[in-house]
Amino acid sequence: MGTNWSSRLLAAATVAPLIRWLVAADSVPSGTGRRATCDACGAPFGLDGPLRTLSPLARCGACRQRIGAPPLTVELALVAVAVVLILADRSALETVAFAWWALCAVPLLFVDLAVHRLPDRLTYAAAGGTVVLLGLAALVGGTGTADDPAPGGGAWLRALLAGAAVASLFVASTLLLGRRGFGLGDAKLVLSSAAVLGWLGWPMVAFGLMVAFAAAALTSVVLLATHRVQWSGHLPFGPFLILGSVVALALT
């Protein structure tokens, strides 16, 4: 158990600069290229640039301007993911699949909060990688017990169906309601977040989506009550979808 905790927390610390770089690069308005330099002084940042910029302090290494996700937030999110994966206590391949999904979901969460966008390369990477890795986990299976059988092809099929079905509902809402429906980015994100829920079982699909909608509704009420947003204010839904799947993972 000790090595489990320390190795996963170490892994979370190691990937933090990479996730910070993804967030800073992609937190740009739609139609603009990815950010490669500090907005204030033009100094390059990235894994090949000054790494100081990608530290938990979230400041440009050259001019100290704030850059990317707020200080310590990405790091705390990754530690939370590591703790959830330890609590979930799944087989090695399932854990790899869920970790892959989470490593796409964390930057998506911060980019959506910053600029209300869910970049395709992250939503597609999440969907493709999660489905392939869960497929491998289904193939290898494992032994399991009579009471708690190892997830196999059935779980994988359920994951595929859940992702496709919920994404279709989201696309339908976009077609029917236009801007008042879900965004297409949400539909692409839900391909993977609902697949994670589907792997855990149909009740978890319902539970995870319920958590997402309840948290979004509660947040809207709080923001309205504190006059942080107007009625027309559009709340990004991606972070709540991610929250729903993470809570389901932690509880199963």
Q: Please report, as ranges, the residues that interact with Zn ion according to CB under 5 A.
A: 38, 40-41, 43, 60, 62-63, 65
Residue 45 or 110: the one with the smaller Cβ distance to Zn ion is 45
Min dist. Cβ of residue 80 to Zn ion (A): 29
Min dist. Cβ of residue 54 to Zn ion (A): 13
Residue 55 or 65: the one with the smaller Cβ distance to Zn ion is 65
* CA–CA gap between residue 214 and residue 222 (Å, rounded): 12
> What is the maximum alpha-carbon separation in the chain?
62
User: What six digits make up the tokens of 184?
Assistant: 């297409």
- Give me the amino acid identity at 184: L
Rg (the chain; Cα; Å): 19
Min dist. Cβ of residue 53 to Zn ion (A): 8
Q: Are 248 and 209 in contact (CB under 8 A)?
A: no
* CA–CA gap between residue 99 and residue 105 (Å, rounded): 10
Find how far residue 50's CA is from the centre of its chain: 26
Residue 60 or 212: the one with the smaller Cβ distance to Zn ion is 60
Min dist. Cβ of residue 38 to Zn ion (A): 3
What residues does 44 pair with on adjacent strands? Answer: 37
* CA–CA gap between residue 77 and residue 15 (Å, rounded): 12
Residue 40 or 72: the one with the smaller Cβ distance to Zn ion is 40
Min dist. Cβ of residue 239 to Zn ion (A): 27
User: What six digits make up the tokens of 230?
Assistant: 């107007």
Residue 44 or 144: the one with the smaller Cβ distance to Zn ion is 44
